[in-house]
């Protein structure tokens, strides 16, 4: 496996207005991305060159027992484009985040992506200056040198220094 984890940095992100679709299915990533690609095409847009984000969505125990998982995928679109036909508008991010890149994330996605999140979570939990914030963790798909990379965003806040 040739995925690698990049350095972890702290960045301040501006909120991103996205149009998104949430799927609960056996292949929710494919279903939500496909729905958004079709929606964008209907509106004369494409995913290419557009910031796009996603995150896992919790499912009920009954859905999990059937092998279903949940995923939400969203794309930044111009302000004049409004949601319709089963998609929603949301604001992702904003604030301080720990950021880490996984190169070649999709070579073995069910290994590299969970391992990346575990690595980033461990770093946040053990960091003396930052602690996990209770905002949404999400991913951004970006082109890499040899395939698609994934940037992980983990909201953080300064760790309280108890006297």
- 9-58 pLDDT per residue, tens: 999 999 989 999 999 999 999 999 999 999 999 999 988 889 999 999 99
For residue 80, is it within any domain? yes
Q: Which domain holds residue 134?
A: 4-13+93-158
Residue 157: pLDDT band (50, 70, 90) is very high
Tell me, yes or no, whether 36 lies in a domain.
Answer: yes
Mean pLDDT of all residues belonging to the chain: 91
Beta strands in 1-86 (DSSP E): 4-5, 9-13, 16-25, 52-57, 69-76
H or E element: which one contains 149? strand 148-158
Which residues are 138's β-sheet partners?
A: 153
**pLDDT band, very low/low/confident/very high, at 92 (cuts 50, 70, 90):** confident
> For the whole model, what pTM was predicted?
0.86
- Judge if 72 and 57 occupy the same domain: yes
Residue 163 lies in a domain: no
105-126 b/e (C-beta count within 10 Å ≥ 16 → b): beeeeeebbeebbeebeebbee
In whole angstroms, what is the distance from residue 89 CA to residue 70 CA? 18
Q: State how many domains the chain has.
A: 2
Is 9 contained in some domain? yes
Asked if the structure places residue 99 within a domain, the reply is: yes
Domain CATH number, residue 125: 3.30.200
21 and 86 assigned to the same domain: yes
């Amino acid at each position: 496996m040739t995925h690698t984890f990049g350095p972890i940095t702290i960045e301040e992100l501006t909120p991103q207005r996205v149009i998104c679709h949430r799927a609960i299915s056996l292949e929710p990533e494919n279903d939500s991305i496909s729905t958004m690609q079709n929606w964008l095409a209907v509106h004369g847009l494409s995913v290419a060159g557009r910031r796009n984000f996603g995150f896992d969505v919790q499912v009920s125990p009954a859905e999990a027992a059937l092998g279903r998982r949940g995923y939400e995928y969203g794309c930044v679109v111009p302000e004049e484009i409004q949601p319709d036909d089963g998609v929603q508008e949301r604001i992702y991010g904003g604030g301080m985040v720990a950021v880490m890149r996984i190169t070649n994330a999709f070579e073995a996605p069910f290994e590299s992506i969970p391992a990346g999140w575990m690595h980033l979570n461990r770093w946040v939990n053990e960091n003396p200056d930052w602690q996990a914030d209770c905002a949404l963790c999400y991913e951004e798909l970006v082109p890499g040198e040899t395939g698609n990379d994934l940037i992980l965003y983990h909201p953080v806040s300064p760790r309280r220094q108890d006297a």
